[in-house]
Amino acid sequence: MRKINVFDTTLRDGEQSAGVNLNFEEKLEIAKQLERLGVDVMEAGFPASSQGDFRSVQAIANTVKGSSVTGLARSVTNDIDVAWEALKNSAEPRIHVFLATSPIHMTYKLRMTPDEVVRTAVESVKYAKAKFPQVQWSAEDASRSELPFLATIIEAVIDAGATVINLPDTVGYTTPHEIGNMFRYLTENVPNIDRAILSTHNHDDLGMAVANSLAAIQNGAGQVECTMNGIGERAGNASLEEIAVALNIRKDHYQADTGLTLKEIKRSSSLVSKLTGMIVPSNKAVVGANAFAHESGIHQDGVLKNKETYEIFTPELVGVSSNRMVLGKHSGRHAFKEKIVELGFNGTEDQLQTIFKAFKDLADKKKDVTEDDLFALMTEATVGEAVAHYELEALQVNYGTNNIPTATITLNVPSEGTIQEAATGSGSVEAIYNTLERMIDGPVILEDYRIQSINGGRDALAEVFVKIQYDGVESTGRGTAHDVLEASAKAYIHAINRTINRRAYNAERMKQLNA
């Protein structure tokens, strides 16, 4: 049984999804969960792209020890130097260097001849190898590159010190048959290929990213690059959970497995969905809400008689619990702590107390508290803003079919104390947002508003995601509460706090640079 290394790029390629902008705390929380999942390599970001990315990559490299942490770099010495500073204290310093190899990219983007591309690739790999024990080199747009040229450049970069060779389908153009041919060709025509691991990285523009990844594995790939929930640029990347479960369930066919802790899949998926604001479709394979739902009477009858009639793997395999959580309003702090530690909590005592209080408040309002509810409360408490410039203290909304909706809000502002304001709107949410805009310094444009329930039932927790433009900066926010209007207010305030913190961080960086 071959071991396939899992290279997770949720924090780099995944974060490049339109509208996604994770902050420092959110990236670190996702990294910790990916470590629990057991990914072999996590690409924490692109250190040279910004000070924020550098800081996040460095913190993740210093924190995560159970997975190899890597950062992306162009084939230039400055990128490699910055990546080394961010990654040098990691458990296994690793860099991911890339250069385009397709005719269209070399001609129009790089404006380089094939010989110049080979020379640049070799020089950058040699430079990186002098610092990093593990150097991954990627042939950007490999699927549209000429195979003889790929063989030439791959042989050269392996001689220069590359230990992993990645062959991306950068624009999601190839097919399973074609990618299989590419991997077979290179395995047979690169003399030193045994000195490196072949990796596959596929985008989903034509809906074939997972199929292409599996085809590459069948034809020699020893590493697969993917993201949680398949997020990423344009149509996204190959879905980690789909590849992992496919290899596990069809070991008889693929003769390969990942070694991931599969029961952490659902939790990883939920965390990424909450923090990015990208909702997982109900019909999504493996992690969708309907993945184990049976509507048809024939299917229901079959499952009741024998689950294997219509379920090829159990919900428990990927961490979907079919049992209700036993904690309730009479549960003590000790039992509560044991449960959230089981769910992955590793925060401070203050955070524990905050979650426990929120749990008690919820248990008074809600008959059954589920693991999904608790996970939502835990995420909100542990992945907040470093500084809360505005805090919701009280919210009252007056609404009637014959009355104009009016919201009255009290905010706690550490720099000013308590402030209160009221405003009307055409609906309750608009009244809340009109009120909050009056209380915030400067105009706010609401670009997106989404709401969903954490789980089913009348007493379900509400989760709201918003995207705003404030002070010329686009930012996202989320809020969770038993009441949908309270969740809406929290999401808006969270987005405002994120923008102010980002502005303060950038101002501090400019001050340091000018000093």
Task: Cite the annotated binding site for Mn(2+) by residue number.
Answer: 13, 201, 203, 237
Token look-up 């596959």 returns: 200
- Burial category of 294 from C-beta neighbours within 10 Å (exposed 0-12, middle 13-18, buried 19 and up): middle
- Tell me the three state secondary structure of residue 419: strand
State in Å, rounded, how far the first CA of the chain is from the last one. 57
Contact between residue 277 and residue 467 where contact means Cβ atoms under 8 Å apart: yes
For residue 81 the two structure tokens come to 């130097």
Measured CA to CA, the distance from residue 435 to residue 452 in angstroms comes to 23
Nearest to 144 by CA among 86, 83, 200, 103: 103
| 503: phi then psi, degrees, rounded to nearest 5 | -65, -40
Residues 6+ apart with CB under 8 A from 305: none
Nearest to 274 by CA among 463, 434, 438: 463
Measured CA to CA, the distance from residue 231 to residue 450 in angstroms comes to 18
Find how far residue 410's CA is from the centre of its chain.
34
CA 203-464-504 angle, 5° bins: 80
Contact between residue 358 and residue 329 where contact means Cβ atoms under 8 Å apart: no
Measured CA to CA, the distance from residue 178 to residue 182 in angstroms comes to 6
Contact between residue 452 and residue 509 where contact means Cβ atoms under 8 Å apart: no
Question: At what angle are helices 77-87 and 114-129 packed, to 10 degrees?
Answer: 30
Binding-site residue positions: 13, 201, 203, 237
Bridge partners, residue 94, by sequence: 70, 134
